[in-house]
Amino acid sequence: MVFMNTTECIKTRYSIREYSDAAVSEGLVKEILQAAVCAPSAGNAQDWEFIVVRKQEIKKQLAEAALGQGFIADAPVLVVVCSNLKKIGSAYGERGVSLYSIQDTAAAAMCLMLAAWEKGLGTCWVGAFDEGRVKEILVLPMDVRPLAIITLGYPRAGIEKPKSRDLSGVLHWEHYGGAE
């Protein structure tokens, strides 16, 4: 196993949309999700819930709900990251429901993706999907909102990392537009 430090993990990760046939064990999925639940959350509400999908028929339905993005059904595992809106709403009201739920689950999704990468697995964050349809497919309770579908699988060789924007184009010092 190749170990990498956190910065190396962050800098080398990129989205994987083609997977090898190698199976991803249940133990490994749990290890990766164990990293997701270590993410920060508003008031430590930990409002996330994860639906792990391995059955081909359900993956296919989710791919259709995700505007027909076919690679989703090819991933060995999908993790649908949800927020329990009742939980975050009871702590923070409207701001919890409309903002913290998204921020908390985004942090969890990112931890999941980095933990997967460190273990040699690739992921792709999928945000384009019909939420109502995903809720139906996964039989989610009314207050559980699906916010991201994360694909998970061993990468196939030959895919390249896209270039990140140059830091100087997005960095402001002290105020918007401020120079160093």
Q: Which residues contribute to the site for ligand FMN (CB under 6 A)?
A: 14-15, 69, 124-128, 161-162
Nearer to ligand FMN, 127 or 141 (CB): 127
CA dist 78 and 100 (Å) reads: 23
* Cβ partners under 8 Å of residue 7, min gap 6: none
Nearer to ligand FMN, 69 or 101 (CB): 69
Nearer to ligand FMN, 7 or 44 (CB): 7
CB-CB contact of 76 with 155 (8 Å): no
Nearer to ligand FMN, 157 or 179 (CB): 157
Nearest distance, CB of residue 106 and ligand FMN, angstroms: 8
CA dist 29 and 128 (Å) reads: 23
Nearer to ligand FMN, 17 or 135 (CB): 17
Nearer to ligand FMN, 84 or 151 (CB): 151
Around Cβ 116, how many Cβ atoms within 10 Å? 30
Nearest distance, CB of residue 9 and ligand FMN, angstroms: 13
Nearest distance, CB of residue 17 and ligand FMN, angstroms: 6
For ligand FMN, the nearest residue by Cβ is 127
Residue 110 sits at φ, ψ, to 5 deg, of -65, -40
Nearest distance, CB of residue 143 and ligand FMN, angstroms: 22
| SS3 call for 56 | helix
CA dist 8 and 141 (Å) reads: 39
Instruction: Give the pairing of strands 77-84 and 122-126.
Output: unpaired
Nearest distance, CB of residue 84 and ligand FMN, angstroms: 20
Angle CA(12)–CA(53)–CA(162) in degrees, nearest 5? 20
Nearest distance, CB of residue 42 and ligand FMN, angstroms: 19
